[in-house]
């Protein structure tokens, strides 16, 4: 089985026995991904990029079904967000290669049966961090009211006749709720700046994201795992 | 309290006995013969009849004609007795928590059956299968289907179908063959029961009954997923039961059975299931379409919901499809469109009537079950009956175990072993089995089957029903979260859905979210245009939920006269903050921000509540200014209420259009709001961002108040003392 990896190892044709590179890919937190899945993703990557080594934002326009997605821009944005790509710098990358693509996809891998508490916690935090970055568009580490409003507006943008003010009020209501969850009773003079990541974690406590946030495709081969 | 309960109990008890006596009397033949009133003519009536030539034509002032009203009278008496019994249970608070209601009702039925049997010396009326399937079952299933939470249902649909279809088949085959094995043992004298008969018995006893499951699970409040699994399974296995039962029954009558017949049976299953769904959806869409035009006759809107659902059930039964599946599909399909089209009052009516009818049906079913148990249509055989119980439990447990094993391999969301136990143990049998056994063709051992079915039902309802609650507590099953989803959670879940759909699009692989998104797209493009009356403002569930919450807040406020910080209030200050003072806010530290908020708060003291944006969600620690504002508001509110009452009387009987979308009023409300704000000069600069349209649209209550407010304003001309409901803020 061959894997062609168009990345910094550009044009290297890997044999199945090339342990080092294989290990590297696996090390990208992709322990549960099999070679077939990597191959599938690679094929998809090539299809999106038009056989180029990297993908730019424009390439995502070629996906017809993505057009109808209300949070399309945020999703695309998330792929280029340097914080998600585990790079030290901040801001947006211009283009991503296959390795980065796999890194983003690794956020959507399913839960494993044999995870212990610590791993589960890390797993959950990773996913929530990804979501947090999507909400927090200005990269300041907090979700402010404006950003939250932006999210709600985008979510409801599918209904063209919905008033913008309704979306804002909804966002305000949600923000107040968040404030009450995160800070509880506030003093009259206290100001709630925005939702930090810790608060975000609290808000998602009731929802079991480990089981919800995975793409079914990545689940198929769990029976025939590589390792 | 105790004394009150006791007194109520005595009163109730005596009344109940009276009614029971009346019922017993009525079931006896010819009640007129018992009465000593001889009125000299067959058809006694009120008017004195002119009978020429008959000397003894007396004027009849008091006469009795029972035959005339017998049927409706008896029905009403039964329902009355059942409902009174229900009141009786709830008088003693501890009782329903220990013994589920279904048990108590069966017990009452047993007593009644015993009394009637004792007095009459013949069997009491057995529940007619037709009555059960045509009249008693549909309301319950409709209620279940209508209030089924669609999101968890569709998320778990694979598991539910697996349990319902494969699980039922496994149970049927298992129980049938095991019992046949038992029949072979010479000691039990059961050899004349053939394999086919055993399989037939298995098919009717294996099906889990939604009525019984509902009534028991209602009281134990397990988590949503578990509830959906057991409940969905009990509803959907009707299709399998119908097919198997009919198939096997027709096999009983055929001399030889070929393999082709078996395949025909399998094909029939698909026809039954898919046909049922199609019938249901057709009627559901028609119902949604009809409600589009009911704007001027709001009063009969609820009727359409019930008529169409019932029609779907009857149509499916007519074609020998699964009526239960049809009615569920109808209810789930029409729910979101009908709710958007009909008025708020109609919506409440629909919900309450559904609950009422299903409750009545439920009660009647269990009472009849108890009554029908007494009688001489039983044949007892220890071995058969005991082994039936054993095998039912055994095969259910096995089925659940094996299927869960497969489910857990395919899904990430696992069904834990505790859940499995509850699913297996919660497989209650109920009235459907009972009716089916009476529909069996007559053959020598039918009475044995009836006895076995009765015992199974009583066993599952009493033993399993009573012990499941302590077992749940013992196993510490994850209990249902009591709170409804908040706005924030809805937003997050929606966000996650879209995100996952997007990622799947990017990956180029289909998953469940793909279908959900595709359906939503199809819905918004085509279905909504066709089925919703006011397509001009489609509302997503977040908006509806938000409106509901705001309405709830408003009602609480009106009733309690208290200030509640509504969410819309938050946008007020912040919109001003962000829109008007972007420069200042950027790079402010919290102190300066607080100051600004304080200043704003003080300036706005007279027209709205003074608490700054989303700093709090309740009212503790009120400041002085708040107290004053509160008082003003309370006074205002009182005077407005009086005015509203007066004007309500003035209105003619036309029902106010108070549906969720108050479009007709919206434009006037806009103007209204703006005029109110514009009028006050000192608020002019700050006020521009205050009037948010959303708050104006949403509450008709507020519209009424606001209209009154406007009138008052013109009368009083005191702009400074503007009555300002917090709801109005935004």
Contact A173 B594 (CB under 8 A): no
CA distance A15 to chain B (A): 24
Identify the pLDDT of residue B440.
81
Name the CA dihedral angle for B452, B455, B458, B464, rounded to a multiple of 10 degrees.
-90
Angstrom distance (rounded) from CA B724 to CA B713: 12
Ranking A136-145, B269-278, B535-544, B563-572 by mean pLDDT, the lowest is: B563-572
Average pLDDT, rounded, for chain B: 69
pLDDT of residue B125: 62
When pLDDT is cut at 50, 70 and 90, the band that residue B215 belongs to is confident
Among A145, A152, A211, beta carbon nearest to B412:
A211
- What region, left, alpha or beta, does residue B375 occupy, with left being phi > 0 and alpha being psi -120 to 50 degrees? left
Report the pLDDT value the prediction gives residue A203, as an integer from 0 to 100. 79
Q: What residues of B are in contact with residue A185 (Cβ under 8 Å)?
A: 616, 618, 620
Taking 50 as the threshold, does the pLDDT of residue B618 lie above it? no
The shortest C-alpha distance from B692 to chain A (Å) reads: 6
A162·B543 Cβ contact <8 A: yes
Q: Give the model's confidence band at A222: pLDDT under 50 very low, under 70 low, under 90 confident, else very high.
A: very low
Choose the closest CB to A66 out of B505, B594, B617: B505
A191/B590 touch (CB, cutoff 8 Å), yes or no: yes
B28-80 pLDDT, tens digit per residue, is 644 333 333 333 333 333 334 444 444 445 677 888 888 888 888 888 888 88
Question: What integer pLDDT is reported at residue B398 of this predicted model?
Answer: 92
Q: Do B502 and A66 touch (CB under 8 A)?
A: yes
Tokens 């143990």 -> residue: B425
Q: Which two tokens stand for residue B154?
A: 């569709």
Structure confidence at residue B565 as a pLDDT band (50, 70, 90): very low
Sequence-separated (6 or more) residues with CB below 8 Å from residue B382 = none
Most confident of A42-46, B359-363, B525-529: B359-363
Verify whether the Cβ–Cβ distance B493 to A169 is below 8 Å. Answer: no
Q: Greater confidence, B700 or A196?
A: A196
User: Average of pLDDT values for A56-60?
Assistant: 82
- Give the rounded percent of residues in chain B with a pLDDT score beyond 70: 62
CA distance B345 to B350: 9
Using the predicted structure, report yes or no on whether residue B83 has a pLDDT greater than 50. yes
Would you call A52 helix, strand, or coil by DSSP? coil
pLDDT at residue B316 greater than cutoff 90: yes
For the cut 70, the answer to whether the pLDDT of residue B230 exceeds it is yes
Q: In this model, does residue A6 exceed pLDDT 90?
A: no
Contact yes or no for A217 and B504 at CB 8 A: yes
Query: Does residue B280 contact residue B312 with C-beta atoms inside 8 Å?
Result: yes
Q: Given A47, A176, A207, which is nearest B567 (Cβ)?
A: A176
Domain assignments of chain B as residue spans, ordered by start: 129-361+370-475, 490-537
For residues B588-615, average pLDDT: 36
End-to-end CA distance of chain B: 46
Contact flag B594-A146 (C-beta cutoff 8 Å): no
CATH of domain A7-115+211-223: 1.10.238.10
Contacts of B496 in chain A (CB under 8 A): 131, 209, 212-213
User: Mutation test of the interface with chain B: which of A155, A191, A214, choosing the one with the most B Cβ atoms within 10 A?
Assistant: A191
Measured distance CA(B231)–CA(B210) in Å, rounded: 6
Nearest CA in chain A to B593: A191
Report whether B321 contacts B272 (CB < 8 A): yes
Cβ <8 Å between A156 and B540: yes
Q: How far is A116 from chain B (nearest CA, A)?
A: 16
CA neighbor of B417 nearest in space, from B462, B478, B357? B478
CA distances from B94 to A143, B86, B97, B221, B476 (A): 49, 14, 6, 17, 21
pLDDT tens per residue across span B326-350: 999 999 988 888 888 888 888 888 9
> What is the DSSP annotation of B27-63?
HSS-HHHHS----SSSS--SSPP--TT-TT----SS-
Residue A22 structure tokens: 């294989």
User: Looking at residue A160, what is its pLDDT?
Assistant: 59
Flag if A110 and B481 touch (Cβ within 8 Å).
no
Cβ B504–A216 below 8 Å, yes or no?
yes
Closest listed residue to residue B353, CA positions, set B314, B301, B316: B301
- Closest CA relative to residue B437, chosen from B423, B421, B454, B420: B454
Average pLDDT for B663-687: 34
Q: Is the pLDDT of residue A37 over 50?
A: yes
Instruction: Decide if B517 and A207 are in contact by the 8 Å CB cutoff.
Output: no
d(CA B601, CA B603): 5
B109, B374 in Cβ contact below 8 A?
A: no
- Can you give the pLDDT at residue B385? 87
Residue B705: pLDDT above 50? Answer: no
Q: How far apart are CA B638 and CA B644, in angstroms?
A: 10
Better-scored residue on pLDDT, B188 or A74: A74
Task: Give the CATH fold of the A117-209 domain.
Answer: Recoverin; domain 1 (1.10.238)
Contacts A203 to B, Cβ<8 Å: 488, 492
CA distance A108 to chain B (A): 9
Question: What is the per-residue pLDDT for B277?
Answer: 93
- Which chain B residues are Cβ-neighbours of A44 within 8 angstroms? 506-508
B89-to-A133, B98, B359, B372 alpha-carbon distances in Å:
55, 11, 14, 22
Residues of A in contact with B695 (CB under 8 A): 169
Contacts of A40 in chain B (CB under 8 A): 507, 509
The rounded percent of chain B whose pLDDT value lies above 90 is 7
Contacts of B487 in chain A (CB under 8 A): 170, 173-174, 177
CATH 1.10.238.10 in chain A, residue ranges: 7-115+211-223, 117-209
State whether A177 and B536 contact (CB < 8 Å).
Answer: no
Cα–Cα distance for residue pair B560/B558, rounded to 1 Å? 6
User: What's the rounded mean pLDDT across residues A85-113?
Assistant: 77
Q: How does residue B551 score in pLDDT terms, banded at 50, 70 and 90?
A: low
Q: How far apart are the first and last CA of chain A?
A: 16
Q: What is the pLDDT of residue B717?
A: 40
Q: Give the single-character DSSP code of B721.
A: G
- Low-confidence winner among A125-129, A152-156, B233-237 (lowest mean pLDDT): A152-156
**Per-residue pLDDT for B280 more than 70?**
yes
Position B396 scores a pLDDT of: 92
B500 closest CB neighbour out of A176, A206, A215:
A215
Question: Which phi-psi region, left, alpha or beta, contains residue B287 (left: φ > 0; alpha: ψ -120 to 50)?
Answer: alpha
What letters, b where the CB count within 10 A reaches 16 and e where it falls short, cover B410-446?
Answer: ebbbebeebbbbbbbbbbbbbbbbbbbbbebeeeebb
CATH number of B129-361+370-475: 1.20.1530
**Centroid of chain to Cα B141:** 9
Question: pLDDT tens for residues B431-473?
Answer: 888 888 888 877 778 888 888 888 888 888 888 888 888 887 7
pLDDT confidence of B279, banded at 50, 70, 90?
Answer: very high
Q: What is the 3-state secondary structure (H, E, C) of B421-455?
A: HHHHHCCCCCHHHHHHHHCCCCCCCHHHHHHHHHH
The pLDDT assigned to B1 comes to 60
State the Cα angle at A180 between A175 and A182, rounded to 5°: 90
On the question of pLDDT at A74 being above 60, the answer is: yes
- Check residues A194 and B711 and name the one with the higher pLDDT: A194
B85 or B533: which leads in pLDDT: B85
**Banded pLDDT at B653 (limits 50, 70, 90):** very low
What is the predicted pLDDT for the residue at B424?
Answer: 87
Mean pLDDT of the region B196-206: 88
Q: Show residues of chain B in contact with A123, CB under 8 Å.
A: none
CA B274 to chain centre: 24
> Which residues of chain B make contact with A186, given a CB cutoff of 8 A?
615-616
Q: Which residues in B lie closer than 8 A to residue A179 (C-beta atoms)?
A: 614-617
Q: How far, in Å, CA of B473 to CA of B319, rounded?
A: 45
Higher per-residue pLDDT: A29 or B652: A29
Provide the 8-state DSSP code for B485: P
- pLDDT score for B174: 92
Among residues A181, A206, A152, the alpha carbon closest in space to that of B484 is found at A206
Residue B659 CA to residue A206 CA, distance in Å, equals 33
Mutation site for A-interface testing, chosen from B502, B504, B550, B605 by largest number of A Cβ within 10 Å: B502
Alpha-carbon gap: A217 to the closest alpha carbon of chain B (Å): 6
- Distance in Å, alpha carbon of B713 to nearest chain A alpha carbon: 26
**Contact list, B693 vs chain A (CB under 8 Å):** 163, 165-166
Count chain A–chain B contacts defined by CB atoms under 8 A: 207
Model pLDDT, residue B713: 39
What's the rounded mean pLDDT across residues A188-192? 59
A61: nearest CA partner in chain B: B506
B616: confidence class by pLDDT, cuts 50, 70, 90:
very low
> Mean per-residue pLDDT for A124-130?
85
The more confident residue out of A202 and B317 is B317
Predicted confidence band of residue B268 (pLDDT cuts 50, 70, 90) = confident
Best residue in A80, A108, A170, A225 for a mutation probing chain B (most B CBs within 10 Å): A170
| DSSP per residue, B89-158 | HHHSTHHHHHS-HHHHHHHHHHHHHHHHHHHHSSPPPPPPHHHIIIIIHHHHHHHHHHT--HHHHHHTHH
From chain A, the residues in CB contact with B617 under 8 A are 176-177, 179-180
What are the tens digits of pLDDT across the range B170-179?
Answer: 999 999 999 8
Q: Residue B624 class from Cβ within 10 Å (0-12 exposed, 13-18 middle, 19+ buried)?
A: exposed
B8 vs B398 pLDDT, higher one: B398
pTM above 0.80, yes or no: no
């Amino acid at each position: 089985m061959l894997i062609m990896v168009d990345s910094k190892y550009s044009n290297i044709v890997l044999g199945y026995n090339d342990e080092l590179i294989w290990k590297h890919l696996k090390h990208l937190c992709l322990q549960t991904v099999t070679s077939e899945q990597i191959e599938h993703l690679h094929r998809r990557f090539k299809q999106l990029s038009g056989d180029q080594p990297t993908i730019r934002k424009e390439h995502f326009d070629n996906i017809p079904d993505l057009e109808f997605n209300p949070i399309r821009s945020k999703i695309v944005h998330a792929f280029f967000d340097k914080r998600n790509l585990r790079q030290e710098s901040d801001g947006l990358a211009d283009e991503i290669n296959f390795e980065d693509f796999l890194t983003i996809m690794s956020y959507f891998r399913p839960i494993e049966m044999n995870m212990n508490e610590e791993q589960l916690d890390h797993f959950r935090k990773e996913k929530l961090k990804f979501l947090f970055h999507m909400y927090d568009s200005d990269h300041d580490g907090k979700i402010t009211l404006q950003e939250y409003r932006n999210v709600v507006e985008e979510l409801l943008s599918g209904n063209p006749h919905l008033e913008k003010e309704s979306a804002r009020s909804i966002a305000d209501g949600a923000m107040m709720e968040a404030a009450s969850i995160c800070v509880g009773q506030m003093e009259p003079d206290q100001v709630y700046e925005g939702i930090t990541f810790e608060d975000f974690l609290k808000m998602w406590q009731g929802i079991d994201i480990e089981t919800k946030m995975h793409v079914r495709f990545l689940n198929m081969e769990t029976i025939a795992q590589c390792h | 309290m105790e004394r009150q309960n006791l007194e109520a109990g005595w009163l109730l008890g005596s009344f109940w006995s009276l009614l029971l006596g009346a019922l017993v009397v009525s079931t006896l033949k010819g009640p007129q013969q018992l009465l000593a009133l001889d009125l000299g003519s067959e058809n006694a009536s009120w008017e004195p009849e002119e009978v020429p030539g008959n000397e003894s034509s007396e004027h009849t002032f008091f006469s009795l004609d029972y035959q005339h009203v017998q049927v409706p009278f008896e029905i009403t008496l039964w329902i009355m007795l059942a409902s009174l019994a229900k009141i009786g249970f709830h008088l003693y608070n501890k009782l329903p928590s220990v013994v589920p209601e279904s048990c108590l009702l069966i017990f009452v039925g047993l007593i009644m059956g015993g009394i009637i049997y004792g007095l009459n010396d013949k069997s009491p009326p057995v529940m007619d299968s037709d009555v059960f399937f045509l009249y008693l079952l549909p309301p319950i299933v409709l209620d279940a289907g209508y209030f089924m939470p669609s999101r968890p249902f569709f998320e778990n649909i694979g598991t539910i179908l697996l349990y319902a279809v494969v699980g039922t088949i496994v149970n049927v085959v298992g129980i049938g063959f095991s019992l046949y094995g038992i029949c072979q043992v010479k000691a039990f004298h059961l050899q004349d029961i053939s394999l086919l008969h055993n399989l037939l018995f298995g098919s009717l006893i294996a099906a889990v009954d939604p009525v019984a499951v509902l009534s028991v699970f209602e009281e134990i409040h397990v988590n949503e997923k578990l509830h959906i699994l057991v409940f969905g399974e009990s509803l959907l296995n009707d299709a399998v039961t119908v097919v198997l039962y009919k198939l096997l029954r027709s096999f009983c009558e055929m001399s030889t059975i070929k393999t082709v017949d078996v395949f025909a049976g399998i094909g029939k299953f698909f026809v039954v299931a898919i046909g049922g769904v199609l019938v249901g959806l057709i009627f559901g869409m028609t119902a949604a379409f009809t409600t589009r035009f009911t704007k001027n006759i709001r009063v009969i809107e609820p009727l359409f919901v019930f008529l169409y659902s019932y029609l779907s059930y009857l149509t499916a039964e007519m074609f020998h499809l699964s009526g239960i599946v049809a009615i569920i599909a109808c209810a789930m399909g029409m729910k979101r469109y009908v709710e958007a089209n009909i008025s708020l009052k109609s919506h409440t009516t629909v919900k309450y009537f559904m609950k009422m009818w299903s409750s009545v049906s439920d009660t009647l079913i269990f009472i009849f079950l108890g009554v029908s148990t007494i009688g001489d249509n039983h044949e007892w055989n220890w071995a058969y009956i005991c082994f039936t119980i054993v095998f039912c439990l055994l095969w259910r447990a096995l089925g659940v175990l094996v299927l869960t094993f497969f489910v857990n391999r395919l899904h990430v969301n696992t069904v834990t072993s505790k859940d499995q136990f509850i699913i297996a143990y919660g497989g209650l049998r109920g009235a459907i089995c009972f009716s089916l056994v009476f529909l069996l063709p007559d053959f020598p051992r039918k009475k044995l089957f009836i006895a076995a079915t009765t015992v199974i039902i009583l066993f599952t309802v009493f033993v399993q029903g009573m012990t499941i609650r302590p077992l749940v507590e013992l196993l510490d099953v994850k209990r249902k979260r009591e709170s409804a989803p908040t706005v924030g959670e809805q937003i997050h879940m929606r966000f996650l859905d879209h995100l996952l759909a997007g990622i799947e699009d990017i990956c180029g692989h289909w998953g469940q979210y793909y279908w959900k998104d595709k359906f939503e797209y199809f819905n918004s493009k085509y279905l909504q245009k066709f089925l919703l009356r006011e397509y001009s403002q489609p509302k997503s569930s977040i908006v509806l939920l938000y409106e509901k919450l705001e309405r709830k807040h408003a009602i609480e406020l009106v009733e309690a006269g208290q200030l509640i910080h509504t969410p819309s209030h938050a946008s007020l200050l912040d919109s001003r903050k962000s829109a008007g003072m972007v420069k200042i806010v950027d790079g402010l530290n919290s102190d300066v921000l607080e100051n600004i908020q304080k200043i704003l708060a003080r300036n706005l003291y007279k027209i709205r509540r003074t608490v700054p944006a989303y700093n709090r969600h309740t009212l503790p620690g009120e400041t002085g200014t708040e107290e004053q504002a509160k008082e003003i508001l309370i006074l205002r509110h009182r005077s407005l209420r009086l005015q509203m009452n007066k004007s309500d009387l003035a209105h003619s009987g036309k029902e106010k259009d108070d549906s969720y979308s108050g479009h007709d009023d919206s434009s006037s409300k806009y103007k209204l709001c703006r005029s109110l704000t514009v009028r006050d000069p000192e608020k002019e600069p700050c006020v521009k961002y205050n009037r948010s349209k959303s708050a104006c649209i949403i509450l008709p209550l507020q519209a009424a108040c606001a209209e009154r407010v406007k009138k008052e304003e013109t009368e009083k001309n005191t702009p400074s003392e503007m009555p300002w409901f917090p709801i109005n803020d935004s």
